[in-house]
Amino acid sequence: MFFQRNAHLGREHGKCRFNDDCEININTRHVCLHCRLKKCFGSGMQMSHYRSSRGNQTKTSGKRKMASTISHERQLAIQLPTINLLRSDNSSLNSAQWILISNLIHSYDESRLLAAARRLMSENNISKTAQISDPILTRDFLKQTYETTGKYLRANHDFLLLSPDDRSVLLRHAAENVQCLSTIFVWNQSKLYAHRSFMKTCNYLYGEQLVNMVRHAMKFIDPDLVLIKIAASLFAFSNSLLILRPNYTMNSSSISTIFRIQSTYAEVTWKYLVYRYGYYQAVLRFNNLIQCLMAVTNTISESQDTQAHINDIELVVEQTEISLFLDDIEHLDTNYS
For the chain, give every residue range classified as CATH 3.30.50.
Answer: 2-90
* pTM, two decimal places: 0.64
- The set of residues, in sequence order, having a beta carbon less than 8 Å from that of 81 and lying 6+ positions away, is 15, 17
| 2-90 CATH pick, 2.115.10, 3.40.5, 3.40.50, 3.30.50 | 3.30.50
pLDDT per residue over 207-234, tens digit each? 899 999 998 989 888 989 889 989 888 8
Least confident of 9-23, 215-229, 306-320: 9-23
Determine the average pLDDT of the residues in 106-130.
73
CATH fold of the domain at 97-336: Retinoid X Receptor (1.10.565)
Determine the average pLDDT of the residues in 149-162.
85
pLDDT over 90 percentage in the chain: 6
Q: Residue 269 — pLDDT band, cuts 50, 70, 90? A: very high
Q: Residue 87 — pLDDT band, cuts 50, 70, 90? A: very low
**Which of 62-92 are b and which e, b meaning 16 or more Cβ less than 10 Å from the residue's Cβ?**
eeeeeeeeeeeebeebbeebeebbeeeeebe
pLDDT recorded at residue 33: 80
Phi and psi for 162 in degrees, rounded to 5? -70, 155
Compare 162 and 291 and report the one with higher pLDDT: 291
Q: What does R_g of the chain's alpha carbons equal in angstroms?
A: 24
For the chain, give every residue range classified as CATH 1.10.565.10.
Answer: 97-336
Cα(72)–Cα(42) distance, integer angstroms: 27
